[in-house]
Structure 1
Amino acid sequence: MHGGKEFDILVAENDEILICLHQWGAHEHPTMADPRITPGNGLILYFRTENMEAIRQNAEKLGWPVEEEIHLNPNSTKREFSLRDPDGYYLTITAFHRYEG
């Protein structure tokens, strides 16, 4: 489970997630494992959506390479998939959910 000394979330008063912070190298995220990787090294952008499958299908139609197929994230317990944007930034698309921290 996320939390503890390796992960924290800054949440607004209305429970909107503002930013998630990971300790470098924690949880085996690919952009946080090798400091020689650029651009976007150390950064993962998360997008919560109710249309994850449609976004995944659109990425496939465009021939966009997917880093991780749709799977259940054991830390968040939410379904997600990941790809890189044209500049190389790591994007994770996750099933919409309210923060329950």
Structure 2
Amino acid sequence: MSSTARKSTVEAQPLIAVRNVRASSGWYAELFGADALPEHSHRDVYDRISCSGKLLLQLHAWDEENHPNLVNADAAPPGHGVLLWFQVDDFDSVVQRARGLGAEIIQEPHINPAPQHREIWLRDPDGYVVVVASPDGECAS
């Protein structure tokens, strides 16, 4: 590519398969203080979590609509080898909401020395590992 060519914009839009879209949608919305979730006719099968108007995460019901790789919830551990990693600017509030949700905490809030930020590691209702981190450099001395 030439140095004058415009680079395309890329935004991650992860989608995970869940057993109960409404329950998972509510859990993520509460954890991240997401935008209001509009009611729609497809909400038991698919939903989108947004914060400040930006898509954060998509949720899809297992075994619905014949999508490849969204079948047989019991075929493997949820998200084996995958971490859902989110950077937030209100880390303390998210930690408080996680505790209020009764989320399983895998690793309590701590400082990751390499990026110099705080992290908390959780499990969502389907067993996916969720890492919430403050901005890089936030804990630099």
SS in 1 for 2:102: coil
Give the alignment's TM-score, normalised by structure 1.
0.56
- Cα deviation digits, residues 18-60 of structure 1 (max 9, x gap): 6xxxxxxxxxxxxxxxxxx711110011100011111111111
Q: Which runs of 5+ in 1 are unaligned?
A: 1-12, 19-36
The match for 1:78 is 117
| Maintained 8 Å contact 2:85/2:130 | yes
- Cα deviation digits, residues 7-26 of structure 1 (max 9, x gap): xxxxxx6xx886xxxxxxxx
Count of residues in Structure 1 that have an aligned counterpart in Structure 2: 67
Q: Which has the larger radius of gyration?
A: 2
Q: Which runs of 5+ in 2 are unaligned?
A: 1-6, 13-75
| Maintained 8 Å contact 2:112/2:119 | yes
In structure 2, C-alpha distance between the alignment counterparts of 1:72 and 1:38, rounded to whole Å: 28
Which structure would you say has the larger RCO, counting Cα contacts within 8 Å and 6 or more residues apart?
1
Higher strand fraction (1 or 2): 1
Superposed displacement of residue 85, structure 1: 1.1
Percent of aligned pairs sharing the same letter: 33
